[in-house]
Amino acid sequence: MEYSLKLAHLYGDLLNTYGDIGNILTLQYYAKQMGVSLEADVVSLDEPFDADKYDLFFFGGGQDYEQMIVSKDIQAKKDQLIKFIEDGGPGLAICGGYQLLGQYYIGADGQKIAGISALPHYTKSQDNHRFIGDITIKNEVSQTTYHGFENHNGVTYLGAGEKPLGTVLTGHGNNGEDGGEGAIYNNVYCSYFHGPILARNGQLAKEMLLTALKRKYPTADFSKQEALEIKPTY
């Protein structure tokens, strides 16, 4: 392979309830077609996240119990994660991971689970209710339509500097009120889509890989990789 990238799979052994690992398999599937070897490391409890060692990160979803464990540990990784994100490092955070990159998540039992405030959103709890089902959104800027499946108790409200990943066409999205789903901040994408999001929306996987490649190899020509055709899989 001509290029190599390294991905940090944050707490891949704890936040893995919803098959989100399919996102890493999808990244590897497209990476191979782009002439890129993509190595993934699980970075979990008591292990450092080194912003200079990784080219992209993935942070999946899970249950409130695991999120509480991760909430305590991730405070030690906070500074390096913020450094990576502020420096334009690409990442994808789904559901529980999305909530933990923000300020906090009030869990289903009312407990406040601290995030790392890398992104300014916060997440409250619905009263004995979850948003579950198929969802379709559209990003008005890129005109991209995303298809997925949501399953969350949390209701998230975006803050300054964040834009939604898309506007809800069908389904509930971040909070069922403001019509937004997910978040984009710098080169980090957040979403409530399980299913997993990249398997059904390959364009997003391609974008993440291109961002990581251009950041790691600033003088290389990636026009061949940019031309890779992504066939719809939904």
Positions marked active-site:
95, 194
Residues 105-144, mask of contacts with ligand GLN (x by CB under 6 A): ----------------------------------------
- For the bound state, the minimum distance from the C-beta of residue 67 to ligand GLN, rounded and expressed in Å, comes to 6
- For the bound state, the minimum distance from the C-beta of residue 61 to ligand GLN, rounded and expressed in Å, comes to 2
Q: How many residues does the chain have?
A: 234
Give the closest residue to 174 by CA, choosing from 147, 196, 154: 154
Tokens of 10: 């944050």
154 lies in the site for ligand GLN, by CB under 6 A:
yes
- For the bound state, the minimum distance from the C-beta of residue 161 to ligand GLN, rounded and expressed in Å, comes to 23
61 lies in the site for ligand GLN, by CB under 6 A:
yes
> Interacting stretch for ligand GLN, rule CB under 6 A, among 21-29, 59-67, 159-167, 216-224?
59-67
Report angle CA 120, 185, 207 to the nearest 5 degrees: 155
167 lies in the site for ligand GLN, by CB under 6 A:
no
- For the bound state, the minimum distance from the C-beta of residue 177 to ligand GLN, rounded and expressed in Å, comes to 16
166 lies in the site for ligand GLN, by CB under 6 A:
no
The verdict on whether residue 130 carries a ligand-binding annotation is yes
Nearer to ligand GLN, 31 or 119 (CB): 119
62 lies in the site for ligand GLN, by CB under 6 A:
yes
Contact 119, 82 (CB under 8 A): no
Give the closest residue to 164 by CA, choosing from 147, 201, 189, 195: 189
Provide the β-strand partners of residue 156. Answer: 123
Give me the residues that bind ligand GLN (CB under 6 A), please: 18, 61-64, 67, 95-96, 151-154
| Known binding-site residue numbers for substrate | 130
